[in-house]
Amino acid sequence: LAAVKAAVRKYPGLHIIHFDAHADLRDDYLGARLSHACVIRRCHDILGDGRIHQFCIRSGEREEFRFAKEHTDF
């Protein structure tokens, strides 16, 4: 996440294109907010709505898909 924060400082209009099988939008995974299952959610915390574009996502929890529909370009 430090890399995303640094990139946003240099490029304030930064967008992320996320190609993966998993949504990675959980708020936490097994109690950890910094996890492989939460990385895109943490990026959203930095970037905000409409700046994450997700493609080829085929798995995730219902809450992740709900969050994606409201906050990312899914």
Q: How do residues 1-21 score in pLDDT, each as one tens digit?
A: 899 999 999 999 999 999 999
**Closest CA relative to residue 61, chosen from 34, 33, 38:** 38
User: How many domains does the chain divide into?
Assistant: 1
pLDDT tens for residues 32-72? 999 999 999 999 999 999 999 999 999 999 999 999 999 99
Domain extent, residue 61, equals 2-71
Residue 43 and residue 8 in contact, taking contact as beta carbons nearer than 8 Å: no
- What pLDDT does residue 73 have? 96
> CA torsion 6→12→42→19, rounded to 10°?
-100
Rounded to two decimals, the pTM is 0.94
pLDDT tens for residues 24-42? 999 999 999 999 999 999 9
Q: 31 — alpha (psi -120 to 50), left (phi > 0) or beta?
A: left
